[in-house]
Amino acid sequence: MIVLRLFLQTVLWLAVMALVLFLAAGNPAWPAAWAFLVEMGVLGGAVGLWLAWRDPALLAERLNWRAQAAQAPWDRRFMIGIGAGFLAWLALMGLDVERWRLSLVPTPLQGVGFLAIGFSVWLSWRVFMVNSFAAPVVKIQPGQNVIDTGPYAIVRHPMYAGAIAFLIGAPLMLGSWLGLALTPFLIAGVAARAIGEERMLRAELPGYEDYAAKVRYRLVPRLW
């Protein structure tokens, strides 16, 4: 049942992204968009199947994107805003590259974007290996404890670090300088969420204060 749910939600999310990209682009044969969707589907599906085998409870949690009673109220508003902003960002890149033809990203840099997206998925997989509490929403779960191994030994929010790699990689792979120019605003949103989540963790999760003192950087080593 969990694998079927994974399949249906993956197909639905890919279909939504495809609809936004191709309607904005006006070109259903846009090669970069197809490559992007295939990479997202293959890598995301592979990690999902691994989770179904290794930690089905975490996969069920990851598939639950609805507002939850335990979720921080501000995070519910954030999820709505970031979801709408992400789809608008995809649409803008479709307009930029295919309709307006403003951007021309060299093929090697599009390859860098492909690798950056792959790195973001790999980093998420590494998070899932050590953290069974990696929910998609900000909340404290029963039995939750501080994780300080794997990527958490390097930065305090490795999944958000992976999101930054994705936000840089996607516009490069799709070939949109305009999309890349807006990436800092999306990264600022990710950083704001990390700060809000940390405020809750420091207040409600025993041991987090000591962990934060030991691992100094939130997202990027030696930077922030």
Q: Write down the domain spans for the chain.
A: 2-214
**Mean pLDDT estimate for the chain:** 94
The interaxial angle of helices 73-94 and 177-204, nearest 10 deg, is 170
Structure tokens at 147: 């994780």
Q: What is the pLDDT of residue 22?
A: 98
CATH code assigned to 2-214: 1.20.120.1630
What pLDDT does 1 receive?
Answer: 86
Other CB atoms within 10 A of residue 161 CB: 24
Global pTM reads 0.94
Its sign, for the CA torsion 132, 13, 118, 94, is: negative
Q: Give the residues of the chain that fall short of pLDDT 70.
A: 67
pLDDT in tens, 131-175: 999 988 888 889 899 999 999 999 999 999 999 999 999 999 999
pLDDT of residue 184: 96
Residues in the chain: 224
pLDDT at residue 128, rounded to an integer? 97
